[in-house]
Amino acid sequence: MNRVLLFTDPFGARLTLDSPVRNLICGIVASALRPGQHDALRAAAGEHALPFLVQPKMGSPDYGSFSRAVRHLAPDLIFVNSYSLMVRGDILRVPRLGGINLHGALLPEFRGPNPIQWAILNGETQTGVTLHHMTETFDAGDIVERRVVPLRPDDVWLDVMKRQRPVMAEMIAENLPKVLPETAPRIPQDESKARSWPRRTPEDGLFAWCWPVRRIHDMIRALVAPLPGARYQEGNGTTVVIDHYLSPARIWDRKLAHVRTIALPGRPGTDLAFRIGETVA
């Protein structure tokens, strides 16, 4: 029987273990960068009677024992779904089929972390999901399938993620059974269209009210809670965090307090509204 080792977080684990391919999974791997996720993933592994491993950073004293544990499980394929640590070549070479990754954006245009945030910040009208083979270059392997997901003008990143979820579930269910017997497509990425995006930090969310309104609008939508939020500095040096976005359809709801509105360009009669979050000294 084919064996698939899942590298994931709680979101990816639920998506995969709720799918028809769950019986192919031979173990769950969590990232050492996200210790707060370990209990949930350990519980998911226990519920399905699966081994649970934690991948340390490369160079950690524990990395050797992790590598040995992966070899002991003898997977045929590594499947990476919503994971925060790069899987190195020594691990990708353990399975006979290498690894595949489910990436929450269109490749090769949006390689790298935080792909939904970058798509919103870049003013895109669509994003998507790409299933691709893994290499030692981030998000650069042959594409198995990619599907487009619309990105609407008033979407926050959580809306996009919610829209991606059923697409991801379908792609997992339909493609893993084809990847294992090597009957799935392998389409090389067009390097002329490739762009890699950096990992974002909370400090990257700082904006100024003199920016174009659309740029502010996109910054706030991309960073709403539970992300750290967009932020600006007042004249006295106080930093104000905006952790929610209110669409124009809701700005006249008087039950919502602490609303700042500014006009949207090219959309007469509408305003852009934000609920002010915590204040950071």
Both 103 and 143 in one domain: the answer is: yes
Q: Are strands 4-8 and 77-81 parallel, antiparallel or unpaired?
A: parallel
Kindly indicate the confidence band of residue 58, based on its pLDDT and cuts at 50, 70 and 90. confident
Q: Which domain covers residue 111, as residue numbers?
A: 4-193
Residue 256 has pLDDT above 60, yes or no: no
- What is the pLDDT at residue 242? 87
- What is the pLDDT at residue 279? 42
Residue 76 has pLDDT above 50, yes or no: yes
> What's the rounded Cα separation, in Å, for the pair 8 and 103?
12
Among 146, 165, 193, the domain boundary falls at 193
Both 183 and 207 in one domain: the answer is: no
Both 181 and 237 in one domain: the answer is: no
- What is the pLDDT at residue 276? 46
- What is the pLDDT at residue 261? 54
> What's the rounded Cα separation, in Å, for the pair 278 and 281?
10
Both 218 and 256 in one domain: the answer is: yes
Longest dimension (CA), the chain: 65
On whether the CB atoms of residues 122 and 95 are closer than 8 A, the answer is no
Tokens 């400090």, located at residue: 203
Using only C-alpha atoms, the chain has a radius of gyration, in whole angstroms, of: 21
What mean pLDDT, rounded, does the chain reach?
A: 89
Residue 280 has pLDDT above 50, yes or no: no
- What is the pLDDT at residue 278? 43
Both 245 and 169 in one domain: the answer is: no
Both 70 and 135 in one domain: the answer is: yes
Kindly indicate the confidence band of residue 260, based on its pLDDT and cuts at 50, 70 and 90. low
On whether the CB atoms of residues 128 and 118 are closer than 8 A, the answer is no
Q: Which of 105, 188, 197 is nearest to 146 (CA)?
A: 105
- What is the pLDDT at residue 176? 96
Return the higher-pLDDT residue of 141 and 261: 141
- What is the pLDDT at residue 87? 95
- What is the pLDDT at residue 244? 82
Query: Residue range 35-49: average pLDDT?
Result: 97
- What is the pLDDT at residue 270? 46
Number of domains observed in the structure of the chain: 2
Both 188 and 217 in one domain: the answer is: no
On whether the CB atoms of residues 92 and 98 are closer than 8 A, the answer is yes
Both 20 and 147 in one domain: the answer is: yes
> What's the rounded Cα separation, in Å, for the pair 63 and 85?
13
Query: Residue range 93-100: average pLDDT?
Result: 98
> What's the rounded Cα separation, in Å, for the pair 243 and 225?
5
> What's the rounded Cα separation, in Å, for the pair 207 and 67?
43
pLDDT, one tens digit per residue, over 121-173 is: 999 999 999 999 999 999 999 999 999 999 999 999 999 999 999 999 999 99
On whether the CB atoms of residues 129 and 104 are closer than 8 A, the answer is yes
Kindly indicate the confidence band of residue 274, based on its pLDDT and cuts at 50, 70 and 90. low
| Cis amide bond preceding 226, omega within 30 | yes
Residue 208 has pLDDT above 70, yes or no: yes
Kindly indicate the confidence band of residue 209, based on its pLDDT and cuts at 50, 70 and 90. confident
Both 31 and 145 in one domain: the answer is: yes
Both 152 and 34 in one domain: the answer is: yes
Among 175, 193, 211, the domain boundary falls at 193
Both 186 and 268 in one domain: the answer is: no
Residue 1 has pLDDT above 90, yes or no: no
Residue 262 has pLDDT above 80, yes or no: no
**pTM of the shown model:** 0.86
Among 164, 193, 222, the domain boundary falls at 193
Q: What is the CATH number of the domain that holds 153?
A: 3.40.50.170
On whether the CB atoms of residues 100 and 168 are closer than 8 A, the answer is no
